[in-house]
Structure 1
Amino acid sequence: MSVRRAEKWHVTLVFLGDVPDHAPVADALRKLPAPAPFRLRLSGAGRFGAVLWAGLDGDLPALHDFRESVRSVLPPSDPRPFQPHLTVSYRFDRRLATALDGYAGPTWTVDEFCLVSSVDGAYHRVWTRAFAS
């Protein structure tokens, strides 16, 4: 079973691809009004090809609204429908998928968002902003 390390766990709101200069993206994100914190939890499982993910539940309308506000200040991005999830493994494992299928985890508060850069499989926070309190 190949589960991603916890330091790589994240929820992608908008995938931008290769961005040579992060400053304009961070500047655009700074203009967003900070939303109020909201609550999510892991729930169920799914897959994209060999990629196994845990689904999200909770205040999904707040997550979707926030995602749309982020998309509104950024260049056009991935046109695929948004499927809120946390990637668990890049290699499908039926045992793990079965274990996650009926899983409903505890809630947590979403209270910040980050601009993240991925280089050779390592994630680096480029910019972070707290939500309104």
Structure 2
Amino acid sequence: MRLFVAIYPPDDVRGDLRQRLDSAAHRVRLTAVEKWHVTLAFLGEVSEECRPGLEDALGGVSVPRGRELRLRGGGGFNGRVTWAGVDGELGDLSADVRAAARSVGLSPDDRPYTPHLTVAYAHDDALRQTLESYAGSPWTLDEFALVRVEPDGAYTTLRAW
């Protein structure tokens, strides 16, 4: 099963961004708002046998509760992904999650961490310009989740801490 660890912004935060982007996204299709998340670590294929140990290790990660986050600005990767940026420190939490995964023998993605929320799998100038001036409402970090990618592309939260 393909797994990742993520933070889901509250519904009202995602809804506000979606409303702002709907007017700009004429030539590209936005990703489904229910899938909008901030990845802390992509774990890739993980066997079911490894999952209990992974959950135990992730349970030992301290969530910096009360930390303020905000979707702000945007960018892109390789001309194929458009994303909203995230204000607020998440590098330490991502590093702790990755270390927990490595402690049970997994090899999480080790690219430099750029906290973001993917809004489209395409490049669009109007969308990027809208994101550049966007600053959403702040929210308080209170949990992260272990998420499975289903065969149909849907996401299922397996557990949250």
Query: 2 CA distance for matches of 1:17 and 1:28?
Result: 17
Which deviates more, 82-91 or 23-32? 23-32
Between Structure 1 and Structure 2, the one with more helix by share is 2
Q: Find the counterpart in structure 2 of residue 125 from structure 1.
A: 157
Q: Find the counterpart in structure 2 of residue 69 from structure 1.
A: 96
C-alpha RMSD over aligned residues: 1.4
Which of 47, 70, 73 is 1:41 aligned to? 70
Query: 2 CA distance for matches of 1:123 and 1:92?
Result: 23
Q: Find the counterpart in structure 1 of residue 7 from structure 2.
A: none
Helix, strand or coil at the partner of 2:73: strand
Query: 2 CA distance for matches of 1:92 and 1:20?
Result: 34
Gaps of 5+ in 2: 1-27
Q: Find the counterpart in structure 1 of residue 129 from structure 2.
A: 98
Which of 13, 16, 40 is 2:40 aligned to? 13
User: What amino acid is aligned across from residue 35 of structure 2 in structure 1?
Assistant: K
Contact persistence 2:58–2:100 (CA under 8 A): yes
Post-superposition shift, 1:83?
0.4
Query: 1 CA distance for matches of 2:108 and 2:36?
Result: 21
Structural mapping, 1:75-86, within 5 Å? 75=102, 76-86=107-117
Query: 2 CA distance for matches of 1:56 and 1:80?
Result: 17
Structural mapping, 1:53-64, within 5 Å? 53-57=83-87, 59-60=88-89, 63-64=90-91
Gaps of 5+ in 1: none
Query: 2 CA distance for matches of 1:23 and 1:93?
Result: 41
Query: TM-score, normalization: structure 1?
Result: 0.87
Post-superposition shift, 1:97?
1.1
- The 4+ residue runs of structure 1 with deviation greater than 6 A are none
Query: 2 CA distance for matches of 1:121 and 1:37?
Result: 31
Post-superposition shift, 1:33?
3.1
Distance 1:122 1:110, change over 3 A: same
What do the CA deviations read for 1:60-102 (whole angstroms, capped 9, x no partner)? 1xx2221122122112321210000000011222211111112
Contact persistence 2:42–2:109 (CA under 8 A): yes
Query: TM-score, normalization: structure 2?
Result: 0.73
Query: 1 CA distance for matches of 2:73 and 2:61?
Result: 31
Which deviates more, 28-37 or 116-125? 28-37
Q: Is residue 55 of structure 2 the alignment partner of residue 23 of structure 1?
A: no
Contact persistence 2:65–2:143 (CA under 8 A): no
